[in-house]
Amino acid sequence: MSYSAPPPQQPGGNPYGQAPGPYGQPQQPNQFPQGQFPGQQPQGGQFGGGFGGGYPQPPVRRGNVGLGLLAGLGVALVGAVVYGLILGKADFQIGWLTFGIGFATGLVAAKLGGRNPLVIVASVVISLFAVYVGQILGIAIAVSDSQGLDLMSVLTKNFAQLNELFKLVLDEKPIQFLFFGLGGVGAFAGAKKAS
């Protein structure tokens, strides 16, 4: 006993639909498939397609400014802690590190925040803040190591003196402004690279 083979799959997906003619011209690109009328939607799949029509899908929303700025702030704070630890323990500054903090801040903020000018400006400000926090943390580590004090007590109880020491360092070494500039330029470059 032999079983008959199932009918060959038709172009419209309906195995019992009208087969295209074996002779004649091939179907032209902008014509309707055989067996369909102009108002009829093509049937997809073996058992017909789903519901046709309806509204088109809304476009995918690009960028969440708040999330981008929050993630940029997180990256900046991590970078500030690393920068402060290096600055406090090594007693010298690394310019490319401030550029890297800014670049990472701008890159992450713009990747998640989208192509918004606010993201670029805010990432520059956030990276300048991160360089400042890193400088303050570095000074606090140096003071706590030299005087044998607890780091948290130096940061919390003596913050006004830390700020005064920071101003003295800026007055004595104006090259410190270059590190702030590198952080800002890095943030701008990272944000532009991402968007």
Mean pLDDT by 10 residues, the chain (195 residues): 61 62 61 55 54 67 86 96 92 85 96 91 96 93 89 88 91 89 95 88
Do 193 and 99 contact (CB within 8 A), yes or no? no
Q: Maximum distance among all alpha carbons in the chain?
A: 102
Contacts by 65-70, CB closer than 8 A, 24 or more apart? 65/113, 65/114, 65/116, 65/118, 65/119, 66/113, 67/112, 67/113, 68/108, 68/109, 68/110, 68/111, 68/112, 68/113, 68/114, 68/119, 69/109, 69/113, 69/119, 69/122, 69/123, 69/126
- CA distances for 69 relative to 47, 100, 155, angstroms: 49, 17, 26
Classify residue 21: in a domain, yes or no. Answer: no
Classify residue 38: in a domain, yes or no. Answer: no
Classify residue 96: in a domain, yes or no. Answer: yes
Classify residue 1: in a domain, yes or no. Answer: no
* Confidence at residue 123, expressed as pLDDT on a 0 to 100 scale: 96
Classify residue 57: in a domain, yes or no. Answer: no
Q: Total structural domains in the chain? A: 1
Do 100 and 86 contact (CB within 8 A), yes or no? no
Classify residue 152: in a domain, yes or no. Answer: yes
* Confidence at residue 1, expressed as pLDDT on a 0 to 100 scale: 56
Which of these, 30, 10, 29, 28, lies nearest to 20 by C-alpha position?
10
Q: CA 138, CA 97: separation in Å to the nearest integer?
A: 14
* Domain interval for residue 156: 65-194
Classify residue 54: in a domain, yes or no. Answer: no
Classify residue 100: in a domain, yes or no. Answer: yes
* Confidence at residue 6, expressed as pLDDT on a 0 to 100 scale: 63
